[in-house]
Structure 1
Amino acid sequence: MLIDAHCHLDFPDFDADREAVLERAGAAGVAHFVVPGTTRRHWDRVLALGTREAVSVCLGLHPYFMDAHRDGDVAALAECLEAHPEAVAVGECGIDARFDETLGAQWALFDAQLRLARTRRLPVVIHCVRANDKVAKRLRQLALPAGGLIHAFAGSPEQARAFLDLGFVVGLGGAATHDRARRLHRAVAALPDDGYVLETDSPDMPLAGRQGERNEPARVAEVCRKVAELRGQSPEQVAADSTATARQLFGLRARS
């Protein structure tokens, strides 16, 4: 079986055919889905999905949506995490250095969520774009007890090792399927068997040859095959290893 360790099934992109999307994923061998929160306004949608046995949820404030965040959102996040102990992580949160004009606010919001994760002893799901080294430095300073996931990892073998040494795992998705991603391919090949999870970031992060298409969780099976090729392992081994790592990281029930 496979776990899509990061997919935005709450997004409106799936409103017209969400059940069909889940059915296709099941047919492809995907048995569990981890859905992160991105804005306070949409936490209810995420939590509603979490009532399904096949879905686990995270709650967070995403750096891409800085315009949507308001004063009081971090306090509301703390209250929501308290009210919903079924949440398996804090996130999606992090740093997106493509948006220089909001970087100061991003770091303040990120720090606040990291401290929540530390207080609640929850893993943290991190969006990290063009900021691997700076984020690793901050995580080293905080020493989070439950580690977490570096979502959509696209860095070097050395950067992957820095995150692993801090108790994190990396998320492998569509970026790994692109032929030009040679540095990432070297990182994937060098990872330990328990150092990664598989994800789609649906509806985003399209796979090679599918640019411009809506991504969906069924395609985590394609990611699995590509990761297996890069690692010189069977898809069955990669599926088993990534599933075990996702279960360990998020505390998922064994039957999921």
Structure 2
Amino acid sequence: MHFIDTHCHLDFAEFGDELDLHIRDAAGLGITEFVVPGITLAQSKSLLDFKQRYHQCHIAFGLHPYFLSSDSKKAMEQLWQQAQLHRESLSAIGECGIDAKCDHLVLQQTLFIEHIQLANTLALPLIVHHRQSHHLIAQAFKSVKPQYGGVIHAFSGSVQQAKYYVDMGFKLGMGGTITYPRAQKTRAVIKALPLTSFVLETDAPSMPLNGFQGQPNLPKRLFDVFEHFSSLRDESKQAIAHQLYSSSCALFSI
């Protein structure tokens, strides 16, 4: 079985000198490809060198809502230029989105629409961050429809919201959250929607699985996410792994 971690921040300092070890550990479980999103302009540009060193990593450019400031409009202009310049190196646009718990909410909405426009211009999928903002994301999608789908990262929402995103051409990113007993709503979505609706992710080093709270999340934990995911489905593990891998490859042109 082969797996792709469709959302992890392997370039983060938490991995330090042990990143090669963590990538080998993941490969031993069949996790051989990774999608590494951008979060700021400077970090997005740094991913070009990171991708040269780690060919199993597929990168995206984006401005994460958490890191926006009054200078972010200028940063977005430069992100457009860099993304167009390095289009062949990119697998997606993001991590972008709307987070109701972060500042600059109006700016977030404006820049999210610009991310959608950029993704449409470059014929790339989106990696979408959300928190208490499904209604605002839907407004943005109404303003500018994403033409190449993407992933709703760390999806948490109702079956109805899940179906809306899938109908819009998106996959639902499933990660460590589903290992917690409190995640009944998300587990219900896994049971209710077609297998083609999902991809797997860790968000490493963030979003630790149940039992690993307080520790940096690791790429190899994607296999644990897969085990939990599979326990909620009727298909065989082989069929589930094959479809998740196929969906991930198709979405990110891997």
Scaled to the shorter chain, the TM-score interval is: over 0.9
Q: Which runs of structure 2 are paired with 1:60-209 in the superposition (5 Å)?
A: 60-67=62-69, 70-85=72-87, 86-99=89-102, 101-209=103-211
Describe the SS at the equivalent of 2:93.
Answer: strand
1:71-91 per-residue CA deviation (whole Å, 9 max, x = no partner) reads 421111111112212201110
Normalised by the length of structure 1, the TM-score is 0.94
Number of the residue aligned with 1:227:
229
Counterpart residue identity of residue 164, structure 2: A
Counterpart residue identity of residue 33, structure 1: F
Describe the SS at the equivalent of 2:115.
Answer: helix
Q: CA deviation at 1:24?
A: 0.9
Instruction: Please list every run of 5 or more consecutive structure 2 residues that lacks an aligned counterpart in the other structure.
Output: none
Describe the SS at the equivalent of 2:94.
Answer: strand
Percentage of matched positions with identical amino acids:
35
Q: CA deviation at 1:179?
A: 1.1
1:16-62 per-residue CA deviation (whole Å, 9 max, x = no partner) reads 31111111111121010000010112123322222233111000000
1:172-203 per-residue CA deviation (whole Å, 9 max, x = no partner) reads 00111111111111001112121110000000
Describe the SS at the equivalent of 2:4.
Answer: strand
1:114-150 per-residue CA deviation (whole Å, 9 max, x = no partner) reads 1111222211110011111321232143222101110
Q: CA deviation at 1:234?
A: 3.0
- Which has the larger displacement, 2-11 or 232-241? 232-241
Q: Which runs of 4+ in 1 moved over 4 A?
A: none
8 Å CA contact 1:4–1:199 kept in 2: the answer is yes
Number of the residue aligned with 2:241:
239
Number of the residue aligned with 2:40:
39
Number of the residue aligned with 1:18:
19
Q: Distance in 1 between matches of 2:68 and 2:47?
A: 19
1:137-175 per-residue CA deviation (whole Å, 9 max, x = no partner) reads 321432221011100001111110000011111100011
8 Å CA contact 1:38–1:91 kept in 2: the answer is yes
Q: Distance in 2 between matches of 1:68 and 1:30?
A: 39
8 Å CA contact 2:69–2:104 kept in 1: the answer is no
8 Å CA contact 1:61–1:69 kept in 2: the answer is no
8 Å CA contact 1:199–1:220 kept in 2: the answer is yes
Instruction: Please list every run of 5 or more consecutive structure 1 residues that lacks an aligned counterpart in the other structure.
Output: none
8 Å CA contact 1:160–1:170 kept in 2: the answer is yes
Q: Distance in 2 between matches of 1:142 and 1:41?
A: 26
Normalised by the length of structure 2, the TM-score is 0.94
